[in-house]
A and B are shown apart, each in its own frame.
Chain A
């Protein structure tokens, strides 16, 4: 059930209408039931009356119930040493389930390939495993809960119902943001208020999200798909254009999901955390990670980088921690070495930036007025953007588009694709260019990228406010909303591509 589908709105509108008239306790029960229904929709193999239709709901609730139990046990124990076994149990259960469903085949394949390369002949182990949707997201959210209770930073949830709702709340269930229990669990437990302001802001965020997804990401997707499906057949210019398309597509796609999730939550009186803060306007790589997928990067910082020692254990250890954090962050996205390389590349970027800064603090402020300062800042933004775009080659090579038309048996492996892409970008080699982009489609793609930057990102960046349009004067506000709506209707891509982050 995609947010941009009729089915979703057929589900959401009655749920919202009922939600508005129920008392707090029943609101939570009702939302929990709606979330189960929403999540079980992703299991198309079995009909709704078959118990197996709910197997992944069952899996999610089993791990969540264990964490709820572990949280209560830890809260009852004062001594940190005695809490530790309970934390280990929670970590083992959550990471074990994640490892089995997401990484078993990957590690089995990697081990097989490594042994095979060393001349050791072993049988190949492969299991037919279906990856449960959103397992990476809810696992991290659940882990944050038990770790924070272990650290004494959080009181356990008052009821299992509220805790299950915190984990499974449908707007953010499938692709985040990864909310912290201090914020979302507290909102589940407390009565929420419905306000007119939240409704207008929520509706605006939903419109922004739909615009980004339908009129930007889905327009760019076919061009990026074409370039990544057969990089060996594209000219360097086409590959560069395809890379720009993917760079904007992934941002528009993922931030669209977050905007819609936040908008839906706002309608219901919830406040989900911001996940994006105009990342492509970052003037350095450190700042990029403060603006991109904020809920994941802050999770990795708080629950991985800092526990590893952060920057408190000397230079070498700091760089090791950075690499390890980014490597695991890369692998979190998917079971493929290309994701790991993407993570390592970002680790390298961050390490070089740290080295370059010396002891200085990384800043990302708008420059003081002046042509020279503005130019320097613009160059930094441009350089950061291109470094990020370069790294996306590995990310995209490891994750073929879920809606890709025509990429069947001829599709390349992630490494081969990344290698061909990098080779093809080199402008001085001999190339056979049989793939040419349709000029109309290219024009639409350029317009879509420009619309994203000019209509949404620049106003938000300058005012540091997501719903900046609402503060404009009436005629401008109407004009802007009407333009977004007409654009959404006119430039709607005929192909409906699932959100990229659904596969993680």
Chain B
């Protein structure tokens, strides 16, 4: 190398590299642990009370009851509470067990996509797939959940903003945080002498997946808690192209399977909605704009309901900020049946 070179290795003088035995041993141990966990079947490791646990529950306990679904409802617990499948079957004059309400607690679009993709052979029979979105569905600020953390494609992980990207990349390499949760859960339960977690869901006589014993909840809600809920939903609010992509992928799959894909957003309690407009009006408007643009891009129908009255509901139809009571669900199901008939989605 010439003397004028910008390169030099003089600062390595006396550098004596050794075999990094500790580093190799630790890396080997971690790799072995990770590999073993990846080889174990997932359902042995995932706690029942988790997003993935709920998907397993749907697959084992619910889906077998619906061998030929005609109408498939996807989304979060809001849609799970809002639509009564047996009533919808009757209103639409469909054979029994034709409507499958597969809403998941805090369910993201990715989870709907994951459920659909895993059970595509069965679910592709649905002639109508309705995805109910929530205001946090397109924002990367709301927690994405363990199903996404475990199964997100690398491209999705890379494209999300920091600090999400780091977290998801680490979860992609070391999935042990998620896969070892059940052991952590057992240790915690043992330490605080608590019964193991179980999923308290049940497919009821209306074909609705709900917790078995539901106490009637007070209709009025604490405004302070309302604030907390809103702040949580709008935490670091940012519309994410990656999350929009999940809707696009789901719509594409449904279309490939010959079904009609519909986007919908159920109304929230009006007092909640006005609080949202006050605290995060701009973010809510951005969500609505993104949803409209998405529907236009995909060329799918979009039904946005801003106020409960638009669906024949009132604030008394809600248990909390946005979950509909059983009585409200009957009203909403009737409304939904009318909408489906009017739009002729099942023709």
Contacts and interface: CB of A to CB of B under 8 A. Distances in A.
A196 B18 contact: yes
B327 interface: no
B11 A494 contact: no
B285 interface: no
A374 interface: no
Tell me the dominant secondary structure on chain B's binding face.
helix
B21 interface: yes
Interface residues of A, number: 41
B228 A7 contact: no
Interface in B106-140: none
Interface string A24-36: 1010000000000
B235 A269 contact: no
A405 B6 contact: no
B25 A478 contact: yes
Contacts of B228: 406
B163 A2 contact: yes
B10 interface: yes
Interface string B195-239: 000000000000000000000000000001001100110010000
B11 A4 contact: no
Interface string B177-199: 10010001000100110100000
Contacts of B16: 196
B11 A478 contact: no
Interface string A480-498: 0110011001101010100
A443 B191 contact: yes
A474 B24 CA distance: 12
B64 interface: no
Contacts of B13: 193
B33 interface: yes
A485 B12 CA distance: 29
Contact of B9 (A21, A477, A486, A496): A21
A492 B163 contact: no
A99 to B, nearest CB: 32
Given A2-B163, A410-B224, A490 B6 contact: no
B41 interface: no
B22 interface: yes
Contacts of A489: 30, 170, 174, 176-177
Contact of A2 (B9, B162, B232): B162
Contacts of A410: 224, 227
A407 B224 CA distance: 12
Interface of A: 2, 4-7, 20-24, 26, 191-196, 200, 203, 269, 405-410, 439-440, 443, 474, 477-478, 481-482, 485-486, 489-490, 492, 494, 496
7 contacts: A5-B166, A7-B165, A193-B11, A200-B20, A203-B23, A439-B194, A486-B33
